[in-house]
Structure 1
C-alpha cells in the first residue's frame, strides 16, 4: 500500500516534519511494508523555511538582525546553493511572537530586519528568494525593509522620514537610487495565502492591525499612512500595486516588493506542492494523509491541507485530514474535499495536555485509520 503524508504544522506542538513522522509511525504499526513518502508542507507561514529548504537540499543559516522594535534578534533562513535559492520567513525578523501583546507598538514597529535578511541572501549569491509572509507584527508597508535596502522615505521638502507608520503619515515620495542594482537580476517569490489589498476595509490595517497592537481609534490614521506610502511607491515605480491581490500581506509589506522588484505572489502551499511535484507522485493507488492544528470550515479557503486534498482528488486518490481540533464546520468539507476528518485527541483534557500529547495522539489516530483501511480491504 502506498501513502503520501503531507501535513502542515500543528501550531505550538508539531512542525510539519514532526507531524509527518508521527503519521508514518502510525501507518507502519499496521502496514509494515507500506511505501511511504513524506511531503511536509507549509502555506507561507510557520515552517515554510524548514520545508522548502529541506525540499531543495539546502542548509539553515542564522544571522543577527534588527527586530520589529529595534532590538537585536537571531533570524534563521535557508539557502540552497545548487539552485541559488534563499528561503526567508519574515516572522524570523518581525514575528508577532517576538513582542508580548502588552508591548506591541504598531506605530513604531518596522520591517528593517527583513531587509537585512534579503541583503544577506543577495550577498550570498541568491538568484531567487522565496519569502514567506505569515506571522508579522508590523504594519509599515515594507518601508523598514526597503530602508534597509537603500530606499529613503521623504516628506514634501525632500527630507528623510522614519521608515515606520508614524513617518509614513508625512510621506510624499521615495528615493530608491541607492538600491543595489544586483536586485534587478533576482526573482522574488512571495509565498502567502492572504489576498487582501493594501488599504481599505479589507486591507492590511483593518483586517490584521488589531492583533498587532492597533487600537480601534488608530485604524483610520494607520490606513491613511499606508495609503500615502502606496501612492508614493506607485509614483516612483510606475506600477499599480495597491489593489494587487495579496498586497496587504504582512502589514502591506508585499507592496514594497511589488513596486521595485521582480516579485510575484503565489499561495505558499501551491508553491511547495509544485516544488516537490506532488501531482507527479500521487495517483489513484495512493492514500493521502494531511492535517493541521485546527480543521474547520476555513480550512477550505486556500489552506495547505485543502490544496493537498484537491490535488489528491484530481489524481483519483483518497485524502484523510487529521486535526488537533476539529469543529463542526469541518462537516462542510465532507465528502467533496476529504474522505474523512479525524480529531486526534483521545481523552478529555486541557489545551496544554493536548499540545504536549500531539505527537503520540497523531501517531495513534493514523494507526486507527490504517486499521479501518485494513479491515475494509479484507471485506
Structure 2
C-alpha cells in the first residue's frame, strides 16, 4: 500500500495549508483510493504558522484580549497544543502593522507589550515550549514592551517604568529582572524568523524596516536608532550581553534583540522549527511520495521557504517530491537543485487573478488528480 505525505504551506490570500492538503488528497484519492495519506499542514514562521501548527498538532486556537501596538485593546490568537505543551505565537497577531491605521503609524510610540501578554497566557496554560514567529510588526521598541509584560522592569533614572515605544528607549537607566514571570525559567523559547538583520546600522531594524512602520523622516529614524543604541548599551552593561550585531536581532523592530537579552531563545529558520515540531522526519519515513507547495515558487523560494525545507527533509530518505504552486515565477527552476523533482502551476491557463483565487481549491484538486494519474502510469511500466 502506498504512503503519500501531503505537506503544503498556505496559498496566501486564497486558502490555508490544511485546505490545500485536503484538496490534494481528494485529487489523488480519485486515482489511488487505497493509499495511506498523511496530511501535515506546514508553514515557515510567517503568516499562517499558528493555524498550520494547530491543525498539525490537533491543538486549539486561543483568542484573548491584549495590548495592541497603540496601547488599545485588540484580539490576538495563538495555537496551544496542551498534550504537547507547545504554544505557537505570531507576534504580528498582537503587535502587527495591520492593527495600526496608515495615518497612525508611529514607531516612536508603538509597543510589543501585547506579544509579551500572549507569552504569559501560554505559560499559564501549560506551555513549556513556545514557538514565536517574528515578522509584520508595527514596532521598533527592541522588545522592551514584551519584556515589561513578562514582569521585567525597565526603569528610568527616577525609578519609574519607561513609557512604551521606541521613542522612550533613551530614558532607560536600569533593568530589574527579579520580577520576571517564574514560568519563563521552565520554558523553552524558540524564535522562528528568516530575518538576519542586526539591531543597528544601515542594515538594522530602523534603517531597513522603520519607514514602512511610519519612520518616514531622517529625524524620526535618528531618534529610533539612538534609542536602540542606548537600549543595547544598557543591556550590555547590566546583563553582560552584546545584542547589537547578532544576526536576527533586528527582526520585528528589534524584538529579536529583546528576546536574546531576556529569554535566551533558540533562533532558527521558521520551516526548520515547524519540521521539528511536527516530527516530519519521523512521519516521512517509508513514504512513496511527498507533495508540497505554496502560492508562488520562484528563485527566492530556495531561501528558507516551506517547500524547500520539506524537500530537503524528504531527500534524507530519498523520497521523490512534487511541488504545486499557484504560480511558477522567474527563476523557479532553481528549486530542482534543492530536492524538488517536479513542479506544477495549478491554474489551467491564462485566467483572471480573481478566478484563480476563487476557484483555486478546485484547480488544485484537478491538478492533483492529473499528477496522480501520470505517476500511476509511470509506476505501472
Q: TM-score if structure 1 supplies the norm length?
A: 0.92
Aligned equivalent of 1:352: 354
Matched, 1:140 2:141: yes
Cα gap change, 1:274 to 1:160, in 2 (>3 Å):
closer
Checking the alignment, whether the CA contact within 8 Å between 2:63 and 2:78 is kept in structure 1 is yes
Aligned equivalent of 2:377: 375
Question: Offset at 1:21?
Answer: 0.9
Cα gap change, 1:182 to 1:276, in 2 (>3 Å):
closer
1:118-137 map, 5 Å: 118-137=119-138
How many matched pairs?
Answer: 379
Checking the alignment, whether the CA contact within 8 Å between 1:198 and 1:243 is kept in structure 2 is yes
Matched, 1:291 2:293: yes
Runs (5+) with no aligned partner, structure 1: none
Checking the alignment, whether the CA contact within 8 Å between 1:6 and 1:289 is kept in structure 2 is yes
- 1:128-163 deviations in whole A, cap 9, x for unaligned? 222122322222111111122233334455554312
Cα gap change, 1:357 to 1:97, in 2 (>3 Å):
farther
Q: Secondary structure at the match of 2:332?
A: helix
Q: Secondary structure at the match of 2:30?
A: helix
Please say which of residues 11-20 and 242-251 is displaced more in the overlay: 242-251
Aligned equivalent of 2:320: 318
Aligned equivalent of 1:259: 261
Checking the alignment, whether the CA contact within 8 Å between 1:153 and 1:162 is kept in structure 2 is no
Checking the alignment, whether the CA contact within 8 Å between 2:167 and 2:223 is kept in structure 1 is no
Question: Offset at 1:76?
Answer: 1.4
Checking the alignment, whether the CA contact within 8 Å between 2:3 and 2:286 is kept in structure 1 is no
Question: Offset at 1:85?
Answer: 2.5
Distance 1:304 1:40 in 2: 10
Distance 1:244 1:279 in 2: 30
Distance 1:368 1:100 in 2: 45
Aligned equivalent of 2:231: 229
Distance 1:213 1:346 in 2: 41
Aligned equivalent of 1:96: 97
Q: Secondary structure at the match of 1:234?
A: helix
Question: Offset at 1:300?
Answer: 0.5
Cα gap change, 1:372 to 1:136, in 2 (>3 Å):
same
Aligned equivalent of 1:361: 363
Checking the alignment, whether the CA contact within 8 Å between 1:296 and 1:327 is kept in structure 2 is yes
- 1:295-317 deviations in whole A, cap 9, x for unaligned? 11111011111111111122111
Distance 2:121 2:156 in 1: 29
Aligned equivalent of 2:10: 9
Please say which of residues 78-87 and 8-17 is displaced more in the overlay: 78-87
Checking the alignment, whether the CA contact within 8 Å between 1:4 and 1:37 is kept in structure 2 is yes
RMSD: 2.2
